[in-house]
């Protein structure tokens, strides 16, 4: 099973196929590259501005490696990381991994990321798959490149942790019709079983993912857990509303990493058609949401997938894929 590269938006060029990471060699797929800044692992390096505004990094310890991000446009955590990358202007190769079709169950992806969760950031041999770790890594790279101090103040970190504490999984699944949710869940479980047969050395990990899938279904049957998730979200949105009555952005007058982590929550509510219930009734939050939609990072990461009919395009493609694969039992 391949991890397919995302469709290259304007401003991206194809990378030399001979420059592949081990996982790329396994699947033999093409990649695309954003024409921004190129970053590597960092240390006490010297930086030089080249013609055309490019930044080169000279280091006797590290070599330049292009960051690679495995993600999906509708993955809330993926959106958090991509917003940070776009705001920082970081060069990276983008790969779409659709969890609804079970591509995150591919054995090569499991070997790279035992949690099978999205997103995953790879920089050479350095692989990170926890959202907070990825974002703080990106921040360290940026500080190393540009100099100066980190933009993660105590206030920003408190908001980042509070946002990360809310797990959107139960809330999201509880707002999806049972017949669709169960259809996808059953398909993904079958994919896991099929991949387990192909990679018996990973059997324990696949068994753990199967148990997790069944446990999730049990949690969705517990109204108290669903209610707790909704209450935690409402508390977060209320505190954001209060903060936005005092400042322009979530953690102050400037756009920060906290905003990059918070915006995808609002887009998730939009995707679930819950904007009126959770956003419109909070006037400052609604104004904030309208404001950040004009940022170029939002337009690239979220806007191009959520504007009008595009909101449903990826979902329709996924449903068609699942129906065809399920019909022919191709897992």
DSSP 51-62: GGG-EEEE-SS-
Domain limit, last residue, from 96, 117, 146: 146
Looking at the structure, tell me whether residues 189 and 258 fall in a common domain: yes
pLDDT in tens, 285-315: 999 999 999 999 999 999 988 877 777 787 7
Domain limit, last residue, from 116, 146, 176: 146
Looking at the structure, tell me whether residues 270 and 300 fall in a common domain: yes
Count: domains in the chain: 2
Looking at the structure, tell me whether residues 114 and 163 fall in a common domain: no
Per-residue pLDDT at 30 exceeds 90: no
Position 293 in a domain:
yes
Looking at the structure, tell me whether residues 313 and 272 fall in a common domain: yes
Q: What is the pLDDT of residue 14?
A: 37
Token pair for residue 123? 């920089």
Q: What percent of the chain has pLDDT over 90?
A: 62
Looking at the structure, tell me whether residues 198 and 308 fall in a common domain: yes
**Alpha carbon distances (Å) from 313 to 79, 117, 318:** 17, 23, 9
What pLDDT band is residue 78 in, cutting at 50, 70 and 90? very high
Looking at the structure, tell me whether residues 75 and 180 fall in a common domain: no
Per-residue pLDDT at 268 exceeds 60: yes
Per-residue pLDDT at 39 exceeds 70: no
Looking at the structure, tell me whether residues 124 and 30 fall in a common domain: yes
Q: What is the mean pLDDT of residues 146-164?
A: 90
Q: What is the pLDDT of residue 65?
A: 60
Looking at the structure, tell me whether residues 310 and 198 fall in a common domain: yes
Bridge partners for 33 per DSSP: 13, 93
Position 277 in a domain:
yes
d(CA 91, CA 82): 11
| Number of other residues whose CB lies within 10 A of the CB of residue 310 | 12
Looking at the structure, tell me whether residues 159 and 114 fall in a common domain: no
Say if residues 156 and 262 touch (Cβ distance below 8 Å).
no
Q: What percent of the chain has pLDDT over 70?
A: 80
Q: What is the mean pLDDT of residues 253-264?
A: 98
Token pair for residue 319? 């449903």
Position 4 in a domain:
no
Q: What is the pLDDT of residue 6?
A: 45
DSSP run (H or E) holding 13: strand 12-14
Q: What is the pLDDT of residue 134?
A: 97
Looking at the structure, tell me whether residues 117 and 208 fall in a common domain: no
Domain limit, last residue, from 101, 116, 146: 146
What mean pLDDT is reported for the chain?
82
Position 2 in a domain:
no
Position 3 in a domain:
no
CATH number reported for the structural domain that contains residue 274 in this entry: 1.20.1050.10
Position 1 in a domain:
no
Position 266 in a domain:
yes
Looking at the structure, tell me whether residues 99 and 167 fall in a common domain: no
Residue 103 CA, chain-centre distance (Å), reads 15
Looking at the structure, tell me whether residues 210 and 142 fall in a common domain: no
**Alpha carbon distances (Å) from 137 to 80, 100, 261, 300:** 14, 28, 15, 22
Most confident stretch, 134-143, 251-260, 321-330? 251-260
Say if residues 41 and 30 touch (Cβ distance below 8 Å).
no
**Domain containing residue 138:** 12-146
Q: What is the pLDDT of residue 17?
A: 36
CATH number reported for the structural domain that contains residue 138 in this entry: 3.40.30.10
Position 32 in a domain:
yes
């Amino acid at each position: 099973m391949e991890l397919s590269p995302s469709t290259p938006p304007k401003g991206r060029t194809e990378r030399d196929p001979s420059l592949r990471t081990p996982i790329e060699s396994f699947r033999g797929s093409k990649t695309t590259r954003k024409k921004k800044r190129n970053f590597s692992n960092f240390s006490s390096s010297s930086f030089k501005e080249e013609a055309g505004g490019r930044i080169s990094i000279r280091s006797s310890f590290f070599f330049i490696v292009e960051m690679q991000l495995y993600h999906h446009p509708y993955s809330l955590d993926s959106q958090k990381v991509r917003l940070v990358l776009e705001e920082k202007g970081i060069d990276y190769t983008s790969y779409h991994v659709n969890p609804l079709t079970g591509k995150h169950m591919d054995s090569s992806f499991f070997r790279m990321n035992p949690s099978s969760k999205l997103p995953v950031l790879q920089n050479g041999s350095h692989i990170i798959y926890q959202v907070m770790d990825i974002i703080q890594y990106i921040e360290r790279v940026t500080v190393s490149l540009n100099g100066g101090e980190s933009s993660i103040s105590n206030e920003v970190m408190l908001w980042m942790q509070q946002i990360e504490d809310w797990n959107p999984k139960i809330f999201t699944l509880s707002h999806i019709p049972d017949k669709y949710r169960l259809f996808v869940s059953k398909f993904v479980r079958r994919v896991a079983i099929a991949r387990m047969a192909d990679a018996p050395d990973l059997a324990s990990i696949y068994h753990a993912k199967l148990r997790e899938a069944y446990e999730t279904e049990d949690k969705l049957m517990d109204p108290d857990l669903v209610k707790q998730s909704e209450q935690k979200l409402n508390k977060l949105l209320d505190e954001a509303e209060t903060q936005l009555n005092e400042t322009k952005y979530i953690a102050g007058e400037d756009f920060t990493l906290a905003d990059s982590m918070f915006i995808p929550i609002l887009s998730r509510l939009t995707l679930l058609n819950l904007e009126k219930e959770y956003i419109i009734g909070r006037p400052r939050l609604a104004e904030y949401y309208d404001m950040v939609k004009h940022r170029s990072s939002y337009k690239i990461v979220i806007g191009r997938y959520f504007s009008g009919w595009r909101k449903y395009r990826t979902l329709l493609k996924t449903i068609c894929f699942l129906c065809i694969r399920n019909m022919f039992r191709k897992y």
